[in-house]
Amino acid sequence: MMLARDEDILKAAEDWRKQGRAVALATVIETWGSAPRPVGANLVIDGEGNFLGSVSGGCVEGAVVTEAMDVIESGKAKTLEFGVADETAWKVGLSCGGTIRVYVEKVD
């Protein structure tokens, strides 16, 4: 995983679109308790699963990339939630005990 400054991530999204790639942007929109990344953290994903940035790390990041590819395909934005109260907490949850909400949208 490669971490980058927010402006680098947004620039990458713009550059990837100019190159003709399909792109989605994931943004942390809410946190509760302990969370690895703050509100406003971004992850840019292309249609082939390449990504830059971070919204959480570990299994959560992989799940966000997978969902982003669905968003690219459908064009419909999604809000995702991950945390210890989630029924999938042991599979795709936050080991730090918090909850995050991530908004994923296609970049046109």
Tens digits of residue pLDDT in 3-21: 556 678 999 999 999 999 9
Task: Please indicate, yes or no, if residue 38 is contained in any of the structural domains.
Answer: yes
Task: Please indicate, yes or no, if residue 39 is contained in any of the structural domains.
Answer: yes
pLDDT for 29 equals 97
Determine the structural domain holding residue 42 and report its residue range: 6-107
- 18 or 35, higher pLDDT: 18
pLDDT for 69 equals 96
How many Å separate Cα 85 from the centre of its chain?
19
Does 107 score more than 70 pLDDT? yes
Task: Please indicate, yes or no, if residue 48 is contained in any of the structural domains.
Answer: yes
Q: How many domains is the chain built from?
A: 1
Task: Please indicate, yes or no, if residue 66 is contained in any of the structural domains.
Answer: yes
Task: Please indicate, yes or no, if residue 1 is contained in any of the structural domains.
Answer: no
- 65 or 5, higher pLDDT: 65
